[in-house]
Amino acid sequence: MSAPLRVGVAGLGTVGAGVARLLAENADLIAARAGRAIALVAVSARDRTRDRGVQLAGARWYEDATALAEAPGIDVVVELIGGSEGPARTLVERAIAAGRPVVSANKALLAVHGRALAEAAERAGVALAFEAAVAGGIPVIKALREGLAANRILSVAGILNGTCNYILTRMTEEGGDFAAVLADAQRLGYAEADPSFDIDGIDAAHKLSILAALAFGRPVAFEAVHVEGIRRVSALDIAFAGELGYRIKLLGIARAGEAGVSARVHPCLLPRAAPLARVDGVFNAVVIEGDTVGRVMLEGRGAGAGPTASAVVADLIDLARGRATPVWGGALAEAPSVPMTEHTGCYYLRLMVVDRPGVIADVTAVLRDHGVSLESMLQRGRAPGEAVPVVLVTHETREAAMTAALARIATLGAVLEAPSLLRIEPG
């Protein structure tokens, strides 16, 4: 058996401690599968005194994480600090420049600086691995880059944020309102004290831009991803969606077409029988559509110490075995991005209107004027003179037409609140 692979881990939060624990607990099995031992020789974190429930006595301690980039006796740097800038970015850049392979779980860093980092890694001839950055323990990056490598990938779609899926699942099951379920999720540890990164869709968009780049073999600019979060999904819309045979999910969807790549994260209505509609709670899932294999779905835990450590150590085993895959294996020029205004699809529109004759006629006239054709209309309950919900489902429509119609509808006197517009995905 060859010499051990010597690993330095920067960042000893939940995931860092999980990696240290996994390397210790499954050491024999990992060595057998890696063909050699994987040894944790150096660590870096701010607070040296904290009890992390794992033995770190054998590892050298560095106060400054970026020192791991060049410190002697380290074969691989594992970056688990997080954040797209600051020490995480500096560490990864310096390690690559020093010719040292890097394993990172940092989706923000890879989404924002992935192109530059991949180019630097290619120039330096070192590996940059990041299975843990997307969908936690699910080996989706390996599936995209290796398992399905013979396919032209047509689309990637997924539930990429466990916090959002947990909140939407509970809203669906309990009929609860967003704010109340979010507060309870925070109390239970399923949502952060500042939840905006998750619930505004940023985290899912980071992951989607990484997946899209791998799927289509070229960088996808993070700024080109259309992002909407779940703050405005209401209990009323979840109930109406259910009545129409749909579940509301936050999806990230990337598709390659002749005009370029479209990448978007937003809540949408999925037919109840669609595979992604049935993925509940904190679970993540990704559906990859290849030209030869058809659709493949992968589902599992997208976060947490165990699943994330599982992905980090899988990358280390690949490195120990000498199994290397270039980041894109294709062009390094950015894919042209298709703007959201070009999107076409069906839409769900829910209005609160004054219950009086002629209102529906006014609304449908605006839709007609914008070329939007209706598939169905639903109005539950009568309360003459008061506010009642009206739900309209459109046939396939261009986003630009829908947006223009919506702006006009919002100005109608009988429309009382901001309309709720959700896209419908075929599933």
Q: Which residues are catalytic?
A: 207
Binder among 4, 14, 24, 26 for a second copy (CB under 8 A): 26
Cβ atoms 277, 242 nearer than 8 A: no
Q: How far apart are CA 30 and CA 367, in angstroms?
A: 61
34 binds a second copy (CB under 8 A): yes
150 binds a second copy (CB under 8 A): yes
Q: How far apart are CA 90 and CA 65, in angstroms?
A: 9
Binder among 10, 37, 71, 148 for a second copy (CB under 8 A): 148
Please state the closest distance from residue 349 (CB atom) to a second copy, in A.
Answer: 30
Cβ count within 10 A of residue 418: 11
260 binds a second copy (CB under 8 A): no
Q: How far apart are CA 229 and CA 404, in angstroms?
A: 21
Binder among 64, 146, 369, 386 for a second copy (CB under 8 A): 146
Among the candidate windows 90-98, 105-113, 190-198, 291-299, which touches a second copy by CB under 8 A? 291-299
Q: How far is CA 256 from CA 124, 133, 338, 398, 424, in A?
A: 30, 22, 9, 18, 19
DSSP string, 151-207: SPEEEEEEE--HHHHHHHHHHHHH---HHHHHHHHHHHTSS-SS-HHHHTSHHHHHH
Q: By rule CB under 8 A, what string of x and - marks binding of each residue 203-242 to a second copy?
A: --------------x-------------------------
Task: Report how many residues bind a second copy under the rule CB under 8 A.
Answer: 55
Phi, psi of 39 (to 5 degrees): -110, 130
Please state the closest distance from residue 330 (CB atom) to a second copy, in A.
Answer: 5
322 binds a second copy (CB under 8 A): yes
- Residue 177 or residue 280: which is nearer to a second copy going by CB? 280
Q: How far apart are CA 330 and CA 172, in angstroms?
A: 42
- Residue 322 or residue 385: which is nearer to a second copy going by CB? 322
Q: In sequence order, what E strands does 19-59 have?
A: 38-44
103 binds a second copy (CB under 8 A): no
- Residue 113 or residue 247: which is nearer to a second copy going by CB? 247
Q: By rule CB under 8 A, what string of x and - marks binding of each residue 372-401 to a second copy?
A: ------------------------------
22 binds a second copy (CB under 8 A): yes
In a 3-state reduction of DSSP, which class is residue 341? helix
- Residue 124 or residue 360: which is nearer to a second copy going by CB? 124
Note the residue count of the chain.
427
**How open is the CA angle 2-11-68, to the nearest 5 degrees?**
55
Structure tokens at 203: 């985290």
- Residue 143 or residue 412: which is nearer to a second copy going by CB? 143
Q: By rule CB under 8 A, what string of x and - marks binding of each residue 35-74 to a second copy?
A: x---------------------------------------
Q: How far is CA 425 from CA 154, 227, 249, 252, 348, in A?
A: 16, 16, 10, 11, 10
Binder among 89, 301, 343, 370 for a second copy (CB under 8 A): 301
1 binds a second copy (CB under 8 A): no
Q: How far apart are CA 36 and CA 53, in angstroms?
A: 26
Pairing state between β 102-104 and 76-79: parallel
Binding positions for a second copy, rule: CB under 8 A: 22, 26, 29-30, 32-35, 131, 137-139, 142-143, 145-152, 217, 275, 278, 290-301, 306-307, 309-311, 313-314, 316-318, 321-326, 329-330
